[in-house]
Amino acid sequence: MPRRAVPPSVESAPAAPLDVPAQMTHREVMEALSGLLLAMFVAMLSSTIVANALPRIITDLEGSQTGYTWVVVATLLSMTATTPLWGKLADLFSKKLLVQSALVIYSIGTLIAGFAPSMEVLIGARVVQGLGVGGLTALVQVVIATMVPPRERGRYSGYLGAVFALATVSGPLIGGLIVDAPGLGWRWCFFVGLPVAALAFGVLQKTLHLPVVRREVTIDYLGATLIVGGVSILLVWVSLAGNQFAWASATSLALIALGVGVVVVAVYVEARVAVDPVIPLRLFRDRTTSLATGASVLVGIAMFGATVYLSQYFQLSRGMTPTHAGLMSIAMVGGLLVSSIATGRIISHTGRYKRWLVGGMVFVIVGLALLGQIDDTTPLAVVGLFMAFLGLGLGATMQNLVLVVQNNVVPSDLGTASSVVAFFRSMGGSVGVSALGAMLSHQVAAKVTVGMAALGIAEPGHRTHAIPDLSALPGPVRVVYEHAFGASIGELFLVSVPFAVLALVCALLIREVPLRTTNLPETSLAPEVEPEIERQAAAARRSAR
């Protein structure tokens, strides 16, 4: 069926224009993409490079286990909570200026963190870093979506997957080398990202040229504040429950009630009060967007919740150094890299994506189920093979879920829709990491108690949130702890399987809409966007009068 032409008045409407830039050549896209990929690399590296330095940081700044947790949680909170706001700003202001602003915010937080004299200052600096990282994570995909039509977007999304893989592999290795290098130390784990950020800023200034959309701006301050507040309260709860207070305690119930209450008020404001809401609830009237968002939450739980503990498996159960543990991640990241680039190119060629989403989720389920069988005696080559299966599945699903949503919304909603997917995926990851972490502590404690009893050693019980120095333990006791961590981490992958199965169900229910070859919505292929086109046309006619 031929595509219906959009009325010219829609394109020229000053109140609600369709953000459709002129088609860029492949060379222009690649030049601009170089700066965007550098920005994304900085964002990813900030999380991975500091992982191996944290024990040294806590020791030097005289921090506690609580401080250790908050160095990680602070960035996660600010990044996740502000992602929708960055996406909304991308629909209202210059995307180039916003990406550069996020780089500046990240650099300021990095400088403060590098010179931090105490844990309190470091945690505050990590909050600032998270604001910038959240912006970079959301905006890079928005800018790519603005430059490239959906049909061609898959090949470029594959490059994002490659950068993600590179940062995941190189971050821990670089961090370990910096910490152990004479004359450097852990502070350079922060400083090393600044030259890359500066280079990304300069490249973007030279190569990224997007039209600046002029439109009436109405910022939903109340909705943004409520969303950030509600999400932050719930993330504080899932991050600290089981550690600072019991899951079923009065404090836990109070945080749940307060967080849910604030979120309910935020939903009401977004639906009934806000003129231009941060998260337009009308997006979820589209079945494809709702299913892709739900799948993103479930993938976040399965991916972040399970894979974040692989480093502990290699270090605590298999006795590896941080550097060697980082090298073991090449198996999973290699699978992710190959799958992300290959599926992106095939999707761009064919315009079809559902088969790859479904196939990717099957690989995720198989990979998680296989990893659920590992313990402290599983051959490392077998563990690496299982990780490769999981990586192949994640590479075919993560970026393509964003692509599905971008293909089903009008261009003026690209920023908001892209950030919504990233927001819910991060939320799922946050919940998964915290909940599975609590489960890991409980399982390790139970297995250590049983193991000690078998050795005839009186053991009052493993402190669930203490990580022992295995090298200082007697041989038989060390074996008990290695088995406890190895078997318990394997069980985390089994717990993640049902979430991956639900994500597969969401992928199966998605109605495939062939990818558009332009950034102009094809209403004959995506009828869900037709009312939005009509709304913008009506607004243009009213403005013309």
- Six token digits for residue 361: 């989720």
Tell me the pLDDT band of 297, cut-offs 50, 70 and 90. confident
DSSP single-letter state for residue 93: S
Instruction: Identify the bridge partners of residue 245 per DSSP, sorted by sequence position.
Output: 241
C-alpha triplet 388, 389, 394: angle, nearest 5°: 95
State the SS3 of 463-513: CCCCCCCHHHCCHHHHHHHHHHHHHHHHHHHHHHHHHHHHHHHHHHHCCCC
Residues 19-28, mean pLDDT to the nearest whole number = 61
Which residue reads 């991956």 in tokens? Answer: 500
Please report which confidence band the pLDDT of residue 533 belongs to, taking 50, 70 and 90 as the band edges: very low
| pLDDT tens digits along 218-241 | 667 788 788 878 877 887 787 677
| pTM assigned to the model | 0.72
Q: How confident is the model at residue 213 (pLDDT cuts 50, 70, 90)?
A: low
Q: Tell me if residue 245 falls in helix, strand or coil.
A: strand
Collect all residues with Cβ–Cβ distance below 8 Å to 55 and sequence separation of at least 6: none
Nearest to 417 by CA among 540, 252, 283: 283
> Contact, 513 vs 525, CB < 8 A?
yes
- Residue-wise pLDDT for 238-248, tens only, equals 767 766 777 78
Rounded to an integer, what distance in angstroms lies between the CA atom of residue 446 and that of residue 517?
Answer: 56
The angle, 0 to 180 degrees and rounded to 10, between the axes of the packed helices 221-240 and 65-90 is 150
Structure tokens, 34: 């170089």
Query: Distance of CA 285 to CAs 353, 453, 528, Å?
Result: 21, 57, 8
- DSSP tag of 53: G
In sequence order, what are the beta bridge partners of 241? 245
Residues in the chain: 545
Q: Which two tokens mark 46? A: 């900030």
Q: What is the helix (H) or strand (E) element at residue 361, kind and residue range?
A: helix 354-371
pLDDT by residue (tens digit) across 163-192?
Answer: 776 776 677 778 777 877 777 888 888 898
Are the C-beta atoms of 323 and 177 separated by less than 8 Å? yes
Return the pLDDT at 214.
Answer: 55
Cα(530)–Cα(389) distance, rounded to whole angstroms?
A: 40
Cβ neighbour number for residue 314 with a 10 Å cutoff: 23
Cβ contact 289:417 at 8 Å: yes
The letter for the amino acid at 135 is: G
Cα atoms found within 13 Å of the Cα of residue 478, Cβ hemisphere only: 11
Token representation of residue 114:
């590098």
Coil, helix or strand at residue 192: coil
pLDDT digits (tens, 9 = 90+) for 47-78: 778 776 776 787 788 776 566 667 777 787 78
- Residue 387 CB neighbours (<10 A): 25
DSSP codes of every residue in 514-531: PPPSSSS--TTT-GGGHH
Per-residue H/E/C for 113-163 = HHCCCCHHHHHHHHHHHHHHHHHHHHHHHHHHHHHCCHHHHHHHHHHHHHH
Instruction: Answer for the pair 39, 193: CB distance below 8 angstroms, yes or no.
Output: no
Encoded amino acid at 460, one letter:
P
Structure-block tokens of residue 376: 């402290």
Residue type, 247: W
| Type of residue found at 316 | L
Alpha-carbon distance values, 224 to 128, 220, 271, 395 (Å): 17, 6, 13, 31
Confidence of residue 262 (pLDDT cuts 50, 70, 90): very high
Determine the Cα–Cα distance for residues 43 and 365; give it in Å rounded to an integer: 28
Position 368 confidence tier, pLDDT thresholds 50, 70, 90: very high
Tell me what pLDDT residue 521 has.
46
Encode pLDDT of 475-492 as tens digits.
788 888 888 888 888 888
